[in-house]
Amino acid sequence: MAEGGARDPWYENWFGEEYLAVYAERNDEEAARQADFARRLLAPFANRGRMRFLDLACGTGRHAVALDPESGRVAGLDLSLRLLLAARRRGERTARGYARGDMRRLPFRSGSFGAVVNFFTSFGYFDDEADDARVVAALAALEEKTVDGVRIRIRRRYDPAARRVEKEIEMGEGERRRVFHERVRAFGEGDLRALHAAAGLSVVEAFGDFDGTPFDARHSPRLILLGVKDGAARAA
């Protein structure tokens, strides 16, 4: 039981022997096909971290052992000790790392992984929707590049509560290391139209890029709005 007499969350008790019995059909061959798809899809990103993949809510490690059979640069995280013991037995030959932990509080440094996978219904467990948002926010994107001989690491995360994109920019190493931060509010098309309207401006056109193509929320790389004063819009 949890503190105060409340019942433990269902996911703390379910993932054991009974879970393995109910989903026995989820075999290694199935996992290998799914891991192959994920490996090919995420190949451009995987090498950007110290480890290539994190299998979040890894269970018995079926996907982890197949994600990178050559280098073994894969780690798995799960809350269930029973499933992790099975994962460690499965991965003994490939020396992959497994850790027990809560996906809302990842026990890894930012930028540790180039790519993260989360298979099946391993997301959306929590009563508080903000906890689901914290899981996604914890998986910060990492970009690394060298400019004029200076190594630059940019870590990005989205804070859903504040609706801000946050960046940590690390430049240089050792005594020359400097760290800067950016915090930018994220606006949707509706938000920006409302701000224009509140300022007495009418949005007369919305472009998706500097080539003048119309804005498409699903595909456009940017949003460019043309706003004019209400009187000018009517005159036009």
Query: Which of helix, strand or coil describes residue 123?
Result: coil
Task: Give me the domains of the chain, ranges plus CATH numbers.
Answer: 3-139 (3.40.50.150), 144-185 (no CATH), 189-235 (no CATH)
Strand 224-229 and strand 201-207: the pairing is antiparallel
Per-residue confidence band for 194, with pLDDT thresholds at 50, 70 and 90: very high
Strands (E), 24-138: 51-56, 74-78, 97-100, 113-117
The per-residue pLDDT for 206 is 93
| 6 band by pLDDT with thresholds 50, 70 and 90 | very low
pLDDT tens digits along 50-88: 888 999 988 888 899 899 887 788 999 998 888 888 888
Q: What average pLDDT is seen over the chain?
A: 79
Taking residues 186-213, what's their average pLDDT? 89
Q: CA-CA distance, 169 to 162, in Å (whole number)?
A: 20
Please tell me the predicted confidence (pLDDT) of residue 88.
84
Q: What letter would DSSP give residue 5?
A: G
Which band of pLDDT confidence, cut at 50, 70 and 90, is reported for residue 169?
confident
What would the mean pLDDT of 34-39 be, rounded to a whole number? 89
For the cut 60, the answer to whether the pLDDT of residue 133 exceeds it is: yes
Judged against a pLDDT cut of 60, whether residue 124 lies above it is answered with yes
Q: Are 162 and 134 within 8 A, CB to CB?
A: no
Cα distance between residue 235 and residue 56, in whole Å: 57
Give mean pLDDT, residues 36-63. 87
Q: What is the pLDDT of residue 92?
A: 57
